[in-house]
């Protein structure tokens, strides 16, 4: 008689990156214990009948901002991970632009305590890689991190972007550790100058945000990061790919053998410049939602493997922080961890890609 398990999800259609097949799934101690025919399942404390349903692996969202500690009016680790669970996301990687910034072993230890006490799903924590934290790389790794986050451009939290010299040094220090560096790849100096010009000209409407951050800021940043990665051997990941034009430096780096991966988010696949009027400041996000012509190349890049991952950049703010009249005072970002899977599966249902593609992008 085989051992009793905690849960059997019975008689569904199990979906993997390669195939769909009728099967039941047995779970014990939070791990998959067996996948097979319903008759072959061990005795279980609980049975969930999935007849007529698809059974997908829980999504891994490698890019969320849960705001804890520091911004309880926006989110905390409990509300964020509850939203993840409701959205089919069973693992999240949380970004370090909380208060204080996760750039020291002390701040990391504090955040681990918060996350362990509140999380409903599995998680990993990022640490910042900036001019002030290069010295802490070893201690941060010892403290338990999923990877490093390097801000090449400014966004919520105003973490200063390192100079190219400091970035090279940081890559040299991290490369031998094998940890991956995730990049907010937008070049700060370009954006700052353009924003200043737009503000001086009196532009305050939502679309001015897009004008301040043309795709060239991302193209330049991705290309520069790929060069530094190639030089040092540091493994890198390009966060929130928003434009068709970034795909060329990404694909070229992959072809040269650079250890580089990339993600895009539902809002770059589904929204466009046409939506600024409708949403006003709510649509403000970094990088910005771009011209509709970018959408098809992003889908194509997911399908051909140039982009590896669907993530969300889940970045909630309070309503009053998103609805100010002057776009430059609106906080950047919006929620996404709970809506990624339903949005993407709706597109799968429309024939954009197969459900196996989706499982590959979201969970493999």
Residues 313-342 within binding reach of Zn ion (CB under 5 A): 313
Size of the site for ligand DOR (CB under 6 A): 12
How near is the Cβ of 97 to ligand DOR at its closest, in Å? 5
- The residue among 65 and 136 lying less far from ligand DOR, judged by its C-beta, is 65
Contacting residues for 318 by C-beta, under 8 A, at least 6 apart:
73, 74
Q: Is residue 61 a contact residue for Zn ion (CB under 5 A)?
A: no
- The residue among 157 and 281 lying less far from ligand DOR, judged by its C-beta, is 157
Q: Tell me the C-alpha to C-alpha distance, in Å, between residue 318 and each of 126, 286, 289, 330, 335.
A: 23, 17, 20, 10, 11
Residue 12 interacting partner from ligand DOR, Zn ion, none (CB closer than 5 to 8 Å by kind): none
Nearest to 82 by CA among 119, 56, 112: 119
CB atoms under 10 Å from CB of 326, counted, come to: 12
- The residue among 184 and 360 lying less far from ligand DOR, judged by its C-beta, is 184
How near is the Cβ of 76 to Zn ion at its closest, in Å? 17
How near is the Cβ of 256 to ligand DOR at its closest, in Å? 27
Q: Is residue 332 a contact residue for ligand DOR (CB under 6 A)?
A: yes
- The residue among 97 and 229 lying less far from ligand DOR, judged by its C-beta, is 97
Q: For 105-134, b where at least 16 C-beta lie within 10 A, e where not — what string?
A: bebbeebbebbeebbbbebebbbbbbbebb
How near is the Cβ of 93 to Zn ion at its closest, in Å? 10
Residues 248-287 within binding reach of ligand DOR (CB under 6 A): 285-286
Residue 286 interacting partner from ligand DOR, Zn ion, none (CB closer than 5 to 8 Å by kind): ligand DOR
Residues 127-156 within binding reach of ligand DOR (CB under 6 A): 155-156
Residues 153-212 within binding reach of ligand DOR (CB under 6 A): 155-157, 184
Kindly state the greatest CA–CA separation across the chain.
77
Helix (H) or strand (E) holding 13: strand 7-15
Nearest-angstrom CA–CA distance, 239 and 153: 12
How near is the Cβ of 318 to ligand DOR at its closest, in Å? 12
**By three-state DSSP, how is residue 147 classified?**
strand
Residue 267 interacting partner from Zn ion, ligand DOR, none (CB closer than 5 to 8 Å by kind): none
CA-based radius of gyration for the chain:
21
Q: Is residue 333 a contact residue for ligand DOR (CB under 6 A)?
A: yes
Nearest-angstrom CA–CA distance, 166 and 101: 18
Exposed, middle or buried: residue 69 (CB in 10 Å: 0-12, 13-18, 19+)? middle
Residue 97 interacting partner from Zn ion, ligand DOR, none (CB closer than 5 to 8 Å by kind): ligand DOR
x/- mask, ligand DOR, residues 307-326, rule CB under 6 A, reads ------x-x-----------
Residues 254-313 within binding reach of Zn ion (CB under 5 A): 313
Nearest-angstrom CA–CA distance, 35 and 8: 9
Residue 33 interacting partner from Zn ion, ligand DOR, none (CB closer than 5 to 8 Å by kind): none
Nearest-angstrom CA–CA distance, 341 and 359: 10
Nearest-angstrom CA–CA distance, 94 and 159: 16
Residue 340 interacting partner from ligand DOR, Zn ion, none (CB closer than 5 to 8 Å by kind): none
Residues that bind ligand DOR (CB under 6 A): 65, 97, 155-157, 184, 285-286, 313, 315, 332-333
Give the residues lining the site for Zn ion (CB under 5 A): 313
């Amino acid at each position: 008689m085989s051992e009793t398990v905690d849960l059997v999800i019975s008689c569904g259609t199990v979906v993997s990156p390669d195939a769909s097949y009728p099967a039941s799934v047995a779970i014990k101690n939070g791990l998959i214990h067996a996948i097979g025919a319903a008759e072959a399942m061990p005795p279980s404390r609980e049975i969930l009948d999935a007849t007529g349903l698809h059974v997908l692996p829980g999504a891994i969202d490698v890019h969320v901002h849960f705001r804890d500690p520091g911004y309880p009016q926006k989110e905390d680790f409990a509300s964020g991970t509850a939203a993840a669970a409701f959205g089919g996301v069973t693992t999240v990687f949380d970004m370090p632009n909380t208060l204080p910034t996760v750039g020291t072993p002390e701040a990391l230890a504090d955040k681990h305590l918060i996350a362990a006490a509140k999380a409903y799903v599995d998680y990993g924590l990022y640490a910042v890689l900036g001019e002030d934290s290069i010295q802490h790389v070893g201690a941060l790794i010892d403290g338990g991190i999923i990877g490093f986050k390097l801000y090449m451009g400014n966004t919520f939290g105003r973490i200063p972007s390192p100079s190219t010299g400091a970035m090279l040094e940081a890559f040299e220090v991290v490369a031998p550790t094998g940890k991956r560096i995730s990049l907010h790849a937008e070049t700060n100096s370009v954006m700052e100058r353009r924003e200043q010009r737009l503000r001086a000209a009196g532009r305050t409407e939502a679309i001015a945000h897009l004008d301040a951050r043309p795709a060239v800021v991302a193209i330049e940043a991705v290309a520069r990061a790929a060069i530094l990665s190639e030089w040092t051997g540091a493994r890198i990941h390009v966060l929130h790919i928003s434009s068709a034009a970034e795909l060329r430096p990404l694909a070229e780096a992959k072809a040269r053998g650079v250890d580089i991966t990339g993600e895009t988010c539902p809002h770059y696949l589904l929204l466009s410049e046409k939506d600024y009027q409708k949403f006003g400041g709510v649509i403000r996000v970094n990088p910005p939602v771009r011209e509709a012509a970018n959408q098809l190349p992003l889908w194509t890049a997911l399908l051909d493997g140039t982009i590896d991952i669907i993530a969300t950049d889940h970045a909630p703010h309070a309503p009053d922080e998103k609805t100010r009249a002057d776009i430059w005072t609106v906080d950047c970002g919006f929620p996404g961890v709970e809506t990624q899977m339903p949005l993407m599966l709706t597109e799968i249902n429309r024939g954009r890609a197969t459900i196996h593609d989706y499982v590959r992008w979201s969970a493999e």
